[in-house]
Chains A and B, each alone.
Chain A
Amino acid sequence: MTILIFTAVVAIVSFAAGLLGSLTGLGGGVVLVPLLTIFFHVDIRYAIGASLVSVIATSSGAAASYVKEGFTNIRIGMFLEIATTLGALLGAFLATWMPTSALAVIFGTVLLYSAFLSRKTRTQAQRNLPPDPLATRLRLNGTFPDLEGMRSYNVQRVPAGFSLMFGAGALSGLLGIGSGAVKVLAMDQAMQIPFKVSTTTSNFMIGVTAAASAGVYLSRGYVDPGLSMPVMLGVLVGSLLGSRILIKAETKSLRLVFSVVILVLGLQMLYKGIWGTI
């Protein structure tokens, strides 16, 4: 394949990943690394580097609209970023000495888990929890716009959420993904933060988390300009377009299709990792 054709095809695939990732809320980065390694025979380290760069582009590019909606809790984001950036540093350093087959196995596991999470039905319970002393001291409790005006929420289990965030950061640094699924899990499940606030705050945090490992990747030569260019531009355009079109009715089936894609890619990564063909 010549560079011209390679660039064009990778750009189109990245565009599709960015578009689907943003429409379904599952993120595009998680499918890019397996697509690049399995179908384009790109070394997983180059794929991780390119994917991580595109994760920063989507997170920062969408930041303005998230802030406008008034869901993002900047204090929760900033406090938890201490955990995610430390985790990301650790993950990036681990990635530089871990064998690629181990990376593939971990990646496959994360993909299977993401596919499972995306199929789980989420109960939108009205949470009316008493304030937690630590969360109150850290000023994490907040309000967000709801149908009946502003609703307040009390953040719970701060240490558990903080630890999970460290894990999310480590996965992000290790695999070059945004790991939004784990971030939302930490906030929505552990800390009992309303789902809307969790997802937007997670998006707010992803760019900063990725920036923490990007420095390590760049200095170790994982970021190849020829590969990162079509990936970054494709994902950026796709996700920006995705955030603009609202096809509410289609999202459900799209989500199903996308989670099947994630599942298949996860199995492929596991297989390749275990049989050492990566």
Chain B
Amino acid sequence: MATATPPSSPSSSSTSVSHAHEFKPQPWRDKRLAYILGNLLRAGVMMSAGIVLCGAVIYLSRHAHEPANYRAFHSEPPEYRTIPGVIHSVFKDQGRGRGLIQLGLLLLIATPIVRVALSIVGFAIERDKLYVGFTVVVLAILLYSLLGAGIGL
């Protein structure tokens, strides 16, 4: 399998995707999609940082002078451990600051997962079935971790 051969486009494909079956071992030819994904990730991180910051202001304005103690581990209460719990706590007055922080962190965890999901689209555009398959496997593992591990619905 030579990788440096010039594109020999199969007659079935249109001119715009004539390289699709050649599988040049390059990152996406459509660099624009890669840019969009990169910027989307950055936007996701910035949004989550913003939400965490809002939560921080509320949390600190209420609890600033209480003693900080993380010496002993006692698992977080359920409202900070599940997706529905976190969403619920944002709308409650009690513990809203921490709820907002957890919401921002959930969004942060979601950004790389969204990137993997969109990569499936990228590989599908390239008609790269092998990598669509690989990416689906990665996405399945990520979703299992997030939903199957017990924090889902």
Is there an interface contact between B34 and A74, defined as CB atoms closer than 8 Å? Answer: yes
Assess the B130–A138 pair: CB atoms within 8 A: yes
Which residues of chain A are within 8 angstroms of B116 by Cβ–Cβ distance? 78, 81, 208
The interface residues of chain A lying within 8 Å CB-to-CB of B130 are 138-139
Which residues of chain B have C-beta atoms less than 8 A from A59's C-beta?
112
* Known A2-B66, A3-B64, A225-B102; contact A74-B142, beta-carbon cutoff 8 A: no
Give Cα A208 to B145, complex, Å: 12
Q: Mark B36-65, 1 if CB is under 8 A from A, else 0.
A: 011101101110110011011001100111
Q: A64 contacts which of B35, B67, B146 (Cβ < 8 Å)?
A: B35
| Number of A residues, CB within 8 Å of B | 75
B6 at interface, CB cutoff 8 A = no
Cβ of A244 < 8 Å from any Cβ of B?
no
> Is A141 in contact with chain B by the CB < 8 A criterion?
yes
In contact, A82 and B141 (Cβ under 8 angstroms): yes
Do the beta carbons of A42 and B101 come within 8 Å of each other?
no
Main secondary structure on chain B at its contact with chain A?
Answer: helix
CA–CA, A133 to B151, complex, Å? Answer: 42
Q: Which A residues touch B55, using CB under 8 A?
A: 225, 229
Interface residue ranges of B93-145 to A (CB < 8 Å): 97-99, 101-102, 105-106, 108-113, 115-116, 119, 122, 128, 130-131, 134-135, 137-138, 141-142, 144-145
A228 at the interface (CB under 8 A from B): yes
Instruction: Give bound CA distance, A236 to B56, whole Å.
Output: 15
A166 to chain B, nearest CB (A): 12
Give the segment of A109-117, A211-219, A259-267 that binds chain B: A211-219
Whether the Cβ atoms of B59 and A226 lie closer than 8 Å is yes
Chain A's nearest CB lies how many Å from the CB of B88? 14
The interface residues of chain B lying within 8 Å CB-to-CB of A133 are 1
Q: Is B21's beta carbon under 8 Å from chain A? A: no
Known pairs A211-B142, A222-B75 / 4 extra A-B pairs, C-beta < 8 Å: A136-B25, A207-B41, A225-B101, A236-B45
